Structure 1
Amino acid sequence: MTTDGHGSPRAGGDFYALAPRAGHGPVYLRLADGRRIRMPVHCWYGQPALADESVLARCVGPVLDVGSGPGRLCGALLGRGVFALGVDVAPHAVAHTLARGGIALCRSVFDRLPAEGGWQTVLLIDGNIGIGGDPRALLGRCLQLTAPTALLLVEVDPDDVEERCTARFEDLHGHESPPFPWARLGAPALHRVAEDLALSVTDQWTYGLRRFLALGRRNSASGPR
């Protein structure tokens, strides 16, 4: 999970600087209404899980991993000979990606990026559809970055939820990030957003408790893959 300078948890504080102080967890996403969601930080620092493998198998290079965190996905793709670039606003995350042999930029997805209009796959995994608190704006930006035949691979909330909220990261030691706008979408909500953007859902699948959708431009989508 990541965010960016368009109202992000790490715009005013590096989440991945917070996580190691807590021993890679527990770190929580605290919503404005008091709800607290534990973040699986240990998974982000580990190797890709089987659910992640189901995403990686659908990737066609070049791949842009938006909110790449410590780089487990883009690193795994590079190891398979698929070019992948991670983008994250957290310096600690980018440094970790580079240390493990990945390629990443410390930059917002809304900043100027390499090869705009040429990416064949964009990843929004680990809840990153919430970046900036505006999924329509985020997906619209991703469309600007991709080739006409590209896929957007998106992980959604397993529940039927559509929520824009304010949140912050916190641990059990009194450390917390500044508040930031965030969003949570389930599959039905993502279907509605996709429709508004002339995107088609070309594939959807679940793996354990995790749920994913593949989106393509309507004029280039040819049904489930």
Structure 2
Amino acid sequence: MTIASDPRPTFGSGGAEPYARALRREGLLQLVRSPGSTRERGGRPGDAARGTAQAAFDVARWSADADAADLTTIDDARSVLDIGCGPARMVRAAVDRGLDALGVDVSVTAVAMAVDAGLPVVAGSVFDAGLPGEGSWHVALLLDGNIGIGGDPTALVRRASSVLSTDGSVVVETAPDARADVAYDAQVVDEQGRASATFPWAEVGREALGRHAAAAGLRVAQTWSASGRTFCRLVTAR
């Protein structure tokens, strides 16, 4: 199933399509910031002036089974919407637990891989109108750096919360640096130097996430760490 398409540039798409290639071959990718595009939001000096920075991704991990840290994010969930699901390891984990689950991803290749594996996944953006099950999901996931989707974390968590049931929550995996709060333009580049089109992205740490949550009418209800990763649960502010 494909839903109405959001026209904004998205993670790893366009150009030489390195993300799609890596998904099929389980390669390594670099997320490379465009020089001069970094925009600080937390008032921390220095980062914006550093220019190009890189973060590495091992795509094989996204195609593997969910690990113990991953599974903590769906403990006690009744249903799961995985935003930016990739090859849908979290959808598989939720289905294996007998939960209603759906993944959404902008990558046609990732969606095809998940559908071929018999998993419920749709092609599209979280910002698209008419996501299946809007208003009924118990947990919406933003893992693997997906708080960066669209380059505007406040807008993203606000949109993610809009698909939830009244007692639902958004679970966000935050950046290793608790104070990180930057937005920038970036490209995905593979080991052969093939680059995607440029797209907006962001990085948000645990401390900074609270500011974005509050601006979206949410609050951080729970924070926990597992296997060196940090997660926050956002619920409607009351």
TM-score exceeds 0.5: yes
Contact 1:15 1:90 in 2 (8 A): no
Q: After alignment, is 111-120 or 122-131 more displaced? A: 111-120
Alignment pair present for 1:200 and 2:219 = yes
Contact 1:5 1:108 in 2 (8 A): no
d(CA) in 2 for partners of 1:86, 1:115:
11
d(CA) in 2 for partners of 1:129, 1:157:
9
Match of residue 103 from structure 1: 120
Following superposition, the deviation at residue 121 of structure 1 comes to 1.0
> Which of 88, 93, 97 is the aligned partner of 2:105?
88
> Which of 91, 95, 104 is the aligned partner of 1:78?
95
Report the residue type matching 1:38 in the other structure.
A
Following superposition, the deviation at residue 70 of structure 1 comes to 0.2
Match of residue 223 from structure 1: none
> Which of 55, 64, 67 is the aligned partner of 1:37?
55
RMSD: 1.6
Following superposition, the deviation at residue 16 of structure 1 comes to 3.7
Match of residue 143 from structure 2: 125
- C-alpha change, 1:20 and 1:131, in structure 2 (3 Å) is closer
Following superposition, the deviation at residue 194 of structure 1 comes to 1.1
The alignment partner of 2:55 has SS state of strand
How many residues were matched structurally?
214
Report the residue type matching 1:213 in the other structure.
C
- C-alpha change, 1:59 and 1:167, in structure 2 (3 Å) is same
Match of residue 164 from structure 1: 183
The alignment partner of 1:117 has SS state of coil
Following superposition, the deviation at residue 132 of structure 1 comes to 0.4
Report the residue type matching 1:195 in the other structure.
A
Contact 2:11 2:149 in 1 (8 A): no
Q: How does 1:206-217 map to 2 (within 5 A)?
A: 206-217=225-236
d(CA) in 2 for partners of 1:15, 1:150:
35
Match of residue 18 from structure 1: 21
Following superposition, the deviation at residue 149 of structure 1 comes to 1.1
d(CA) in 2 for partners of 1:130, 1:24:
22
Query: Gapped runs of 5+ residues in structure 2?
Result: 1-5, 35-50
- C-alpha change, 1:38 and 1:10, in structure 2 (3 Å) is closer
Alignment pair present for 1:46 and 2:46 = no
Following superposition, the deviation at residue 216 of structure 1 comes to 0.5
Report the residue type matching 1:154 in the other structure.
V
Contact 2:71 2:93 in 1 (8 A): no
d(CA) in 2 for partners of 1:154, 1:20:
23
Report the residue type matching 1:19 in the other structure.
A
Query: Gapped runs of 5+ residues in structure 1?
Result: 220-225
Contact 2:105 2:124 in 1 (8 A): yes
d(CA) in 1 for partners of 2:184, 2:151:
7
d(CA) in 2 for partners of 1:213, 1:148:
18
d(CA) in 2 for partners of 1:175, 1:78:
35
Match of residue 48 from structure 2: none
- C-alpha change, 1:16 and 1:129, in structure 2 (3 Å) is same
